[in-house]
Chain A
Amino acid sequence: QSALAQPRSVSKSPGQSVTISCTGTTSDVGAYTYISWYQHHPGKAPKLIIYDVTHRPSGVPDRFSGSKSGNTASLTISGLQAEDEADYYCCSYAGRYLGVFGGGTRLTVL
């Protein structure tokens, strides 16, 4: 599997919204609704913030939302805060218990 395609970096100001895309193929993102997103602060373990395309684990603010259309999944963060600055990764099921991560997006909140 090749890594899912994500923008390398995005920069936004506090209070703004940002959408991070995650593009795969008809064998992964396009074929399944088993899409998840992770927030990763350097030096810490990644944190699950979205699963099942749109669901948030308890404790994750509703500023985080997910969607999917065709072969592309998206993560939207509204009302950006300084603590949202992190790396974000999408992940998709790819059949037969296989999975694949996106290349990651560095979000900078200026």
Chain B
Amino acid sequence: QVQLVQSGTQVKKPGASFKVSCKTSGYIFPYHFVHWVRQAPGQGLEWMGVINPDDGSTTYPRKFQERVVMTADKSTTSVYMEVSRLTSDDTAVYYCARDLYSGWARHYLDSWGQGTLVTVSP
């Protein structure tokens, strides 16, 4: 079955960076775009961007364009997201999620990782 397994909890200082991994299995890795979504405490879901694992191309909303980098590794069927210049507003649970249809990003997130808590604190 389709599985996405994320790396564990992190604590970072303001101004630092973090990188989360998302190991996928159970499907053909290059066929499905992978999205990253976060949820800050008491807030809603926020879309952070998407990567095409086939060619590594990415799309980020304007809010995250300068601070977020997503990468994919076909050899390990893993996707990574790095966020830099952290502030306390980046404290959140970060999720990776697979897009349902192959070859396109319709934002139908049918399989999700378990989430990774990142806390930014002095």
A-side residues, CB < 8 A to B, are 1, 3, 34, 36, 38, 40, 45-48, 51-52, 57, 87, 89, 91-93, 96-104
Interface-facing stretch out of B8-16, B23-31, B80-88, B105-113: B105-113
Report the bound CA distance from A107 to B100 in whole Å. Answer: 26
- Across the interface, name the chain A residue whose C-beta is closest to B51: A97
Measured as residues with beta carbon below 8 angstroms from the partner, the interface class of chain B is 20 to 34
Q: Which B92-122 residues have C-beta < 8 A from chain A?
A: 95, 97, 100, 105-110, 112-115
Rounded to whole Å, the gap between the CB of B20 and the closest CB of chain A is 14
Rounded to whole Å, the gap between the CB of B47 and the closest CB of chain A is 5
Q: What residues of chain B lie closer than 8 Å to A104, measured between beta carbons? A: 44-45
20 examples of A-B residue contacts, CB within 8 angstroms: A1-B61, A34-B106, A36-B107, A36-B109, A45-B112, A45-B115, A46-B45, A47-B112, A48-B100, A48-B110, A52-B108, A57-B110, A89-B44, A92-B107, A96-B59, A97-B33, A97-B105, A101-B45, A101-B47, A102-B44
B-side residues, CB < 8 A to A, are 33, 35, 37, 44-47, 50, 59, 61-62, 95, 97, 100, 105-110, 112-115
Report the bound CA distance from A47 to B113 in whole Å. Answer: 11
Q: Determine if A103 and B44 form an interchain contact, defined as CB atoms under 8 angstroms apart.
A: yes
